[in-house]
Structure 1
Amino acid sequence: MRKELLTIALLSAMAINQGCSTKKAEAKEGTKKPLSLIVVEPGHFHAALVQKSMYDDVDSVVHVYASEGPDVKAYLDKVQKYNGAPENPTHWKEEVYTGPDFLDKMLAEKKGNVVVLAGNNQKKTDYIKKSVDAGLNVLADKPMAINVAGFEKLKEAFASADKNKVLLYDIMTERYEITNALQRELASLPAIFGELQKGTPENPAVAKESVHHYFKYISGEALVRPTWFFDVNQSGEGIVDVTTHLVDLVQWSCFPNTVVDYQKDVKLLSTKRTATKLTPSQFKLVTKSDKYPDFLSKDVKDSTLSVYSNGEINYSLKGVHAKVSVLWNFQAPEGTGDTHYSIMKGSKANLIVRQGKEQKYKPVLFIENTDKSKAYEDGVAGAFKSVQDKYPGVELKKIAAGWEITIPAKYDTGHESHFAQVANKYMEYLKAGKLPEWEVPNMITKYWITTMALKQAKGK
């Protein structure tokens, strides 16, 4: 009898302990996170890349509102793949609503507090405005505006966000690419860089060039692009799309933490736009579509599709002459990929990022000094220590033209990882309840430059 009582007592204690553990686990699982994502009409793979990582302050349940079709399916497939990843799997739970009234439904229900937008750019600015009007924070893929009318609406959206005490922010991943970050860091060191030169329209002090490809691999799979991506009325011309990153880097690198006012500080000098031509077979390879949709007929001649995806902007910023240009090819040669070139000219040295064949198509940063004195060389080593304190393991390697910056592999995390870095930074701002003072005016300036450049290039 005593043995039976002891057994019952032991089992009861185990049950109570298990119950407590379960309640603790349930309480932990059910802890309300301060942030909850709403993904609206995800038509670009960048929407999924925001969810390639989990975030401490973000609820695992994501509310998705979209029109039915292949775009939302592609997004959900990518998120499912991240959930099932062999390393660092995510655990997002997608609650999906599809229907033609998806935006109205989202605004009526407001099941989260951070709207993520990455898709068709034709309506994106309108979605941004309506979301912040409804008191929702917005994290938007670039570009947030693709023409002058969109720019005016975007300005209204920023005013509305300020009024409603919500944060509107765009996804500037290129700030987190290590050579871009180090170029900015070195430009802030007078002992190495000297002073930023003014340059001329023919010989700008700052130049950034970007080469992209329609056919590429993302997360190990061939990227399938939506057919609307090739309609500049829906995606935006190249001069207002990828150049957004380049214009952002110019402002961020040359005038860090400083307000740049488009009405006082910017002069547009010259702009141009050209088309990339695609054959029907190339179009099918990248879209899986057997024919051009009707909305592209305006851009097709003799079965060749012309996409105005290339652009160049020459302008001055606080008196500094800058040039940004973007070029889209169909597919990169074997073993290569998208490339980036950047130069900042200082009175003592030029800071140059190259990503060509000699660099094995990986971005490499160089200091090419114009000051050849012994005192300068000695000063470089001393000044560089502050960079090493911030980025341990980064080293100077002497070459004929100056120095190559050798960067440990741990800093080369890849383009896809930068989305989580942007999202984490945005969440810091949400926690603080505000963006840095310079971010909003500089976003407005950035989109004024790109949209006005398009207007100027088109001559209307």
Structure 2
Amino acid sequence: MKRIAIVGGETHIHEVTRLAGQHLTIVGAVVRESQKAKAAEDFKCPLFDSEAALYEQAKPDVVAVANQNDLKGACVLRALRAGCDVVADKPLTISMDEQREIEAFLRAHPERRLLVLLTLRGQGMWAEVRNQVRDGTIGRPAFCHVRMAVQLMRELRPDWFLDVNRSGGLFLDLLIHGIDQVEWALDSKIVAMTATMGNLGYPEDVNLRDHAAVYCELASGATAIIEGQRMLPEPAGADYRMLVAGTQGYLDLDFGESTLHVTDREAKRRAITEFPETQSVLADWLAGGDLVDQESSLRANRLSILATQSAEEQRRIVLD
């Protein structure tokens, strides 16, 4: 089993902890002072006062980075330079300078591995959308719409999460999944992006962002819209959807309702009920798999930074 250390444990660390004892051993963690009691209970491992002490004494093979978003990039680089592989909750970093530095380090050190937890790739229903597209069920994809809506839950969020300068905003913290799904399912690269991001629910909070959307042009000639909000009313926890329209029909996924339908050229609609088995993208990666390959991890984060820049600068960005 791989020896894994945790830095942060702020969000989605369950992807790591649920594999403890099967695929990995948690050998140590560094968390904020206010998190220590819960971390000791959840992680069941020694806690360290610094990353340097963690790496020197616990000697991990892999570091799981899940601290606040604006600190992640520097933490990822320190772990890589300490000779560890890295698994990071999204986003990898909110800074393009750090993005370039991470990419350059990995080019210079091909023995190192990195994974961003793009967990939707492991969900059977999302994987089946990709399978249906690649099987030609709906012909050539022409348009894709991804929706990712969640509750804001202000009272449960740490302060940094509600500050765009520290969280990075909706593209980096949420819609990165949709951006990745568009390229993965349609098997085509995004070549241009035009985005918006704003705050309609709490205009008095100048650093909050509660909605965003990006219009994407793909190399295949298809287009996509990826949009999301932190406005979902209770009791719904999340509303994730994906529609792909092609030259011979369309696919319609409603993740909340656990349904996937295909409509053919004769307008006959049928439910798809058999899906690939759901799998952990982290377990796959630890076993040497490439369900989420390193290039895709880096690219999804880079595209999310560019979408954020497009929204902030109010301009269309053409990718190199």
Residues 135 and 161, structure 1, Cα contact 8 Å, conserved in 2: no
SS at match of 2:46: strand
TM-score for the superposition, normalised by structure 1 = 0.62
CA RMSD of aligned residues (A): 2.7
Distance 2:5 2:51 in 1: 11
Distance 1:270 1:72 in 2: 42
How far off its partner does 1:160 sit?
A: 4.6
Distance 1:212 1:149 in 2: 29
Name the structure 1 match of 2:8.
41
The 1:39–1:247 alpha-carbon spacing in structure 2 relative to 1, beyond 3 Å, is same
Is 1:209 the counterpart of 2:147? The answer is: yes
Identity of aligned pairs, percent?
17
Is 1:458 the counterpart of 2:320? The answer is: no
How far off its partner does 1:49 sit?
A: 4.0
How far off its partner does 1:407 sit?
A: 5.1
Deviations 1:163-212 (A, max 9, x none): xx12111111111222211111111212x222223xxxxxxx11211001
The 1:64–1:276 alpha-carbon spacing in structure 2 relative to 1, beyond 3 Å, is farther
Name the structure 1 match of 2:317.
none
The 1:147–1:324 alpha-carbon spacing in structure 2 relative to 1, beyond 3 Å, is farther
Distance 1:109 1:160 in 2: 26
Name the structure 1 match of 2:117.
171
Distance 2:19 2:287 in 1: 16
Structure number having the greater helix percentage: 1
Is 1:312 the counterpart of 2:312? The answer is: no
Deviations 1:205-228 (A, max 9, x none): 112110011339xxxxxx933222
Name the structure 1 match of 2:273.
406
Is 1:139 the counterpart of 2:91? The answer is: no
Deviations 1:260-312 (A, max 9, x none): 7xxxx54324110111535xxxxxxxxxxxxxxxxxxxxx83xx565114221
TM-score for the superposition, normalised by structure 2 = 0.87
Matched residue type, 2:150: H
Name the structure 1 match of 2:239.
339
Q: Select the residue among 130, 135, 140 that pairs with 1:189.
A: 135
Equivalenced residues, count:
313
Residues 314 and 321, structure 1, Cα contact 8 Å, conserved in 2: yes
Structure 1's unaligned 5+ residue stretches are 1-32, 80-91, 198-204, 217-222, 279-299, 356-360, 373-399
Structure showing greater radius of gyration is 1
Distance 2:183 2:21 in 1: 29
Distance 1:158 1:51 in 2: 26
Name the structure 2 match of 1:97.
48
Distance 1:150 1:310 in 2: 25
Runs in 1 of length 4+ with deviation above 3 angstroms?
Answer: 53-57, 71-77, 107-110
The 1:53–1:267 alpha-carbon spacing in structure 2 relative to 1, beyond 3 Å, is closer
Deviations 1:101-125 (A, max 9, x none): x122224335211101112011101
SS at match of 2:241: strand
Deviations 1:29-69 (A, max 9, x none): xxxx4x1110112222x12442124353423x431123322
SS at match of 1:241: helix
Distance 1:49 1:425 in 2: 12
The 1:227–1:362 alpha-carbon spacing in structure 2 relative to 1, beyond 3 Å, is same
Residues 273 and 311, structure 1, Cα contact 8 Å, conserved in 2: yes
Distance 1:341 1:442 in 2: 21
Residues 175 and 227, structure 2, Cα contact 8 Å, conserved in 1: yes
